[in-house]
């Protein structure tokens, strides 16, 4: 950390910016609010990340997740968006696709901001004829995993 006039650690910055976005953690991935949070940490293109070639978006979400588990992330109430409704057969199909990639849907958090998640989105949309965004599909996966 530098000798700044108002020193702040990364967790404090992350928590502060998270709180200002007004989205719950489950509702945050693949949104403009997440990109605002990411840019606050590493610059809009990630150039300020310790290792810009790594999956820093995934690491930012993982850090938020750990902060929530530690009880350091403020509760923001209800999510801004609800998961879209899909047919029960499509839910089963989605679970099968996710589990094919990661073994168990309970391991869903490791998918975020990874090429594997992009493959899941593409496969599900192609198989069902839907055109769900990564955010919408994430919301469904998060709901199904609970």
* pLDDT at 71 (0 to 100): 94
Cα 53 from Cα 47, distance rounded (Å): 9
* pLDDT at 146 (0 to 100): 79
* pLDDT at 51 (0 to 100): 67
* pLDDT at 41 (0 to 100): 84
Note the helical H segments in 4-133: 10-21, 32-42, 56-69, 88-102, 115-128
- Structure tokens given for 36: 């605002």
Vertex 42: Cα angle to 39 and 43 (nearest 5): 50
CA-CA-CA-CA dihedral for 83, 65, 121, 97, to nearest 10? -100
Cα 72 from Cα 46, distance rounded (Å): 25
Number of Cβ atoms within 10 Å of the Cβ of 57: 21
Q: What is the mean pLDDT of each run of 10 residues along the chain (146 residues)?
A: 50 92 93 91 73 75 92 87 93 96 92 94 97 96 90
């Amino acid at each position: 950390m530098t000798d700044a006039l108002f020193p702040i650690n990364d967790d404090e910055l992350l928590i502060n910016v998270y709180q200002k976005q007004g989205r719950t953690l489950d509702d945050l991935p693949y949104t403009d609010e997440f990109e605002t949070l990411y840019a606050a940490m590493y610059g809009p293109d990630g150039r300020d990340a310790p290792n810009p070639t790594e999956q820093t978006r995934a690491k930012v979400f993982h850090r938020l997740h750990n902060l929530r588990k530690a009880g350091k992330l403020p509760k923001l109430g209800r999510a801004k968006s609800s998961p879209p409704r899909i047919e029960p057969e499509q839910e089963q199909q989605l679970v099968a696709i996710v589990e094919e990639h990661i073994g168990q849907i309970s391991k869903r958090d490791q998918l975020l901001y990874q090429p594997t998640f992009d493959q899941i989105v593409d496969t599900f949309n192609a198989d069902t004829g839907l055109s769900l965004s990564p955010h919408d599909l994430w919301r469904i996966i998060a709901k199904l995993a609970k």
